[in-house]
Amino acid sequence: MPRFSLIVPVFKVERYLPQCMDSILAQPFTDYEVILVDDGSPDACPALCDEYAGKDQRIKVIHRVNGGVSAARNSGLDEAKGDYLIFLDPDDFLVKDCLVKLNGFIDKTSRKDLIFAGHLSFDELSGKYFGNMSGNYGLKLDGLERAGIIAATIEENGFDWSSWSVVYSTALIRENKLRFSQATKASEDLDFLLKAILASDKYGSCEEALFVYRKKRSGSASTEPNLETLLSQMKTFEYWYKYFKGAQLPEAQKRVLCGFFSMIFAEKLTGVFKLQADEKATALKYAAGERDLLNNKYLLQFLRKKKDAKTSLKIKAVILKITGVKTGLKIIGVLSSAVNRR
């Protein structure tokens, strides 16, 4: 049984896949397997996957009909045999000695269900690397549990919900039957990670940057807003807002969690201005049915505490559109006062 299973979903990334795979094969730590999941990619990716598999027996390839990144990751998850899972996007890559450092971290600490790993960012437009973001922003996890970790991370520096920045115990995922939601077309990483955190009580935070995240890749899902993506993200934020609102949690945690998901719901809703008229109407109609996310005490409390809170004219316009002038002006007043207190 290998130490690590690296699961790489592959779709229309022929330009980036070689760098991703070469970064894995260059690792001096060799006790791993790679599962390449060709999600029906129409370019040269299927042949590239087979070429890499032909070079190294640790590499396995799954060719499947296109079903989306969640379905691809789940296919890889079904085949994984490693002690720990790494979900690596095909346009990202590993730093040198990533697996050596990760294995060393595991060996010198007690067994962890989740390891929050640090990462660098690579800006494709400028060609520059920047940051040395430590795992979970360097937050000390001692004494924190489940929802407390999520709340503390949000208060510290937002919440990085990328699946590639976390190393998962295979046992945790299998025992809790965790899967990436195939009904979710965006923010599937957030949904999966939150469920994993809430299922675990053994966490670790690796201070070193182990992964490199490629920013601003043209053609990626995150750079091309559309109605399906927008609604999927908002529904995910709505689900977790309602989950934490109904959970038995300390009020301080509930304020942060519900306030955060209300805020990113509002921020994401500004994407309606990039849609066609009929799609915009559909998105606003959905949001109008969930106006509690834009008018609740947790949002107001969260914004008051966030002294660096900013809101664009687009967010103000959305709030006015959904909640009405009287309520909208009240919320905007809170936002403005939060900015003025900076």
- What average pLDDT does the segment 289-298 reach? 84
Which pLDDT score is estimated for 212?
A: 93
In whole angstroms, what is the distance from residue 298 CA to residue 244 CA?
Answer: 11
Q: Which domains, ranges and CATH numbers included, belong to the chain?
A: 4-221 (3.90.550.10), 225-340 (no CATH)
State mean pLDDT over 177-194: 91
- Given this model, what pLDDT does residue 135 score? 46
State pLDDT tens for residues 222-255. Answer: 555 689 888 999 999 999 999 999 999 999 999 9
- The answer, yes or no, to whether residue 291 has pLDDT greater than 90, is no
* Beta-carbon count within 10 A of 43 CB: 14
Q: What is the pLDDT of residue 339?
A: 42
**pLDDT over 80 at 158, yes or no:** no
Q: Once rounded to an integer, what is the mean pLDDT over residues 204-226?
A: 73
Is the pLDDT at 340 greater than 50? The verdict is: no
Closest alpha carbon to 6 in 119, 90, 110: 90
Average pLDDT, the chain: 85
Give the residue with greater pLDDT, 302 vs 222. 302
Q: What is the pLDDT of residues 124-144, one digit of tens each?
A: 878 787 776 554 444 555 556
Instruction: Indicate whether 315 pLDDT > 70.
Output: no
The model's pTM is 0.87
Q: What is the pLDDT of residue 274?
A: 83
Residue 128: per-residue pLDDT: 81
Which residues are 85's β-sheet partners? 5, 168
* Highest-pLDDT range among 14-23, 131-140, 270-279, 301-310: 14-23
Cβ(318)–Cβ(265) under 8 Å? no
What is the predicted pLDDT for the residue at 7? Answer: 98
**What pLDDT is stored for residue 191 in this prediction?**
93
